[in-house]
Amino acid sequence: MTPHIQEIPAHEAPMALLLLADPSEDKIRAYLPGSRCFVASNGVEMVAACVVKPMGGGIHELMSIAVPPAHQKQGHGATLLQWVIAFFRNAGAHQLEVGTGSFGYQLAFYQRHGFRVSSIERDFFVNNYPAPIFEDGIQLLDMLRLTLPYSGKAR
């Protein structure tokens, strides 16, 4: 079953779910104002959520996308991301951006959807989080910035 996707007020963003994607509640609370929050549900419960922040000049940044563990590996994150990509394309955006770790499933996830590496922010996770963040036993150090420029054509 394809989840139902809708926008909700950013102040109603599901913090517990967003913390799965970004371990800093302070950072999430800092980027929520002025952002747009989208959630996917299966009619019973929320199966994915994301937050997108306008950066100006037709550029929007995907700040967070998360799927509850019980609903991972079922395509809900991909469905939500595809919907968000189409939503902002149809709204006239020029580009969608995201920052992610320099390895792991998240990087491949974004690349499968057409995002390409545009820059590296060295030591981002060391300098911006109070505690080290590990994924698969490896400490995240650098953040990759990925972009998905919109052309006039749908992908």
Residues 6+ apart with CB under 8 A from 118: 97, 145, 146, 147
Q: What is the pLDDT of residues 77-95, one digit of tens each?
A: 999 999 999 999 999 999 9
Q: Which domain holds residue 75?
A: 4-149
68 part of a folded domain: yes
155 part of a folded domain: no
What pTM does this model have?
0.90
Q: What is the CATH number of the domain that holds 145?
A: 3.40.630.30
- Tell me, what's the pLDDT at 152? 53
DSSP letter string, 100-152: EESSSHHHHHHHHTT-EEEEEETTHHHHH-SS--EETTEE---EEEEEEE--S
Instruction: Identify the residue with better confidence: 152 or 29.
Output: 29
Domain count, the chain: 1
154 part of a folded domain: no
Q: What is the pLDDT of residues 101-135, one digit of tens each?
A: 888 888 999 999 999 999 999 999 999 888 999 98
93 part of a folded domain: yes
